[in-house]
Structure 1
């Protein structure tokens, strides 16, 4: 059986991602059982934040699921999940205001989110084709050092570039998500959507969520390092 030692490069990042995923679920769950003292639902908190920033044309919809919340710039709507929309928990307020933060980013021309969304189609193609290109490239290269080997090298390098694109997307996503959380926390505090103790809980929820994006970036970086190691081993 063939053993590829480069897979060991992924293990720390995968463990980090698993810990981050468990962390956000645990933290969200903990604060979803604690009602905020204002008795304000996630939808109401998001609406307060939007109106305080002059955004009165953003719709707020209820969608099924748990932590499926998002802001859709195409329809200019905030889509809040079952665990956020009509819930009065600290978690609901934190997540709803985070999504409202994305609405503010679009409204006030925050460049990183515009850049991120403009490359989504390319990133989707790159993420789906990257390993396919690497494998095809390796196969063709193994056939010889002539034209077939050259074609294989070219395809392999395109695969490497696909991994670079995916990593770039994750790196751009980090400031976008951090900024949305910063906007959320600033508004939660300034508008008094929760009291000071509850604010600390909201902060923990958003910090835990942010770690999942850091973990995803780490996995993307580990994948790129792995394919570069494979290429180095071939040379």
Structure 2
């Protein structure tokens, strides 16, 4: 029976570890957000109010503010120049919601300032999407063609683009959170007691990006272990 490395294999433990880390990070951010979503900010501003205030004070009148359905689906789209706040965030006056909204405003500030890592991440999006689509078909083709070293290495390289994208994402997310906390403090939106609470929410969210990068690294490591630089195990 030929060896087929894409299903169960001892190296699958790396995938399981990656899933466990990602699952833990997801549960942690949900529990942290839930905890601080029950703490109302003393100023009584909604997350929407906060974003509008930041956009005006930061000289970003061209950024559109829209709602989007879902829970914690908040994001800033640099191509459309639009910041979207989710159902669970936009009308909330909680410390958690304000922290998340300010984080997305931080991305808008990055866009305004031509932040290099944000530009690099945007440039990597189409390349990464192509890599995710093409990697496994090329790996499978290389495998069935007698372990073609060239095709297998190309497949691994394409798969590794996801890891590169996630590594570039880390400074983008950390910087957006840093900007968020700074603007919340400078504009006196949150009190000295509330700022550390918002920071905990943003730090928990950052763990999901770290976990995703670790999981991708483990997946790439598995492919290297399986194919040994292009040589198929027998």
The TM-score with structure 1 as length reference comes to: 0.91
Shift of 1:111: 0.6
Give the C-alpha shift of residue 153 in structure 1.
Answer: 2.2
**Per-residue CA distance 1:191-232 (angstroms, 9 max, x = gap):** 111112211110010000000000000011001101010111
CA contact (8 A) 2:143 2:232 kept: no
Of 169, 175, 181, which aligns to 1:179?
Answer: 175
How is 1:89-108 mapped onto 2 (pairs within 5 angstroms)? 89-108=94-113
After superposition, the C-alpha distances for 1:100-145 in whole angstroms (9 at most, x for unaligned) are: 000000101101110110111110111122223222221222xxxx
The aligned residue for residue 193 of structure 1 is: 189
SS of corresponding position for 1:86: coil
Q: Secondary structure at the match of 2:54?
A: helix
After superposing the two structures, state which structure 1 stretch, 95-104 or 185-194, moved more. Answer: 185-194
Q: Taking structure 2 as the reference length, what is the TM-score of the superposition? A: 0.92
C-alpha distance in 1, partners of 2:40/2:179? 22
Distance 1:139 1:31 in 2: 52
Separation in structure 2 between the aligned mates of residue 188 and residue 140 of structure 1, nearest angstrom: 58
Match of 1:58 in 2: 63
Match of 2:51 in 1: 46
Residues 1:74 and 2:79 are matched in the alignment:
yes
Supply the RMSD in Å over aligned alpha carbons.
1.6
Q: 1:21 and 2:19 equivalent?
A: no
Q: Does 1:130 align with 2:135?
A: yes
Equivalenced residue count is 226
Deviation at 1:154, TM superposition (A): 1.8
Deviation at 1:69, TM superposition (A): 0.7
User: Helix, strand or coil for the counterpart of 1:196?
Assistant: coil
Query: In structure 2, what is the Cα distance between the partners aligned to 1:217 and 1:75?
Result: 26
Question: Which contiguous aligned blocks of 4+ residues in structure 1 show a shift greater than 6 angstroms?
Answer: none
Q: Which residue of 2 aligns with 1:219?
A: 215
Task: Return the structure number with greater helix share.
Answer: 1
1:160 is matched with 156
The one-character-per-residue Cα deviations of 1:63-104 (angstroms, maximum 9, x if unpaired) are: 111111111222211100011111111111001000000000
Give 2:41's aligned residue: 36
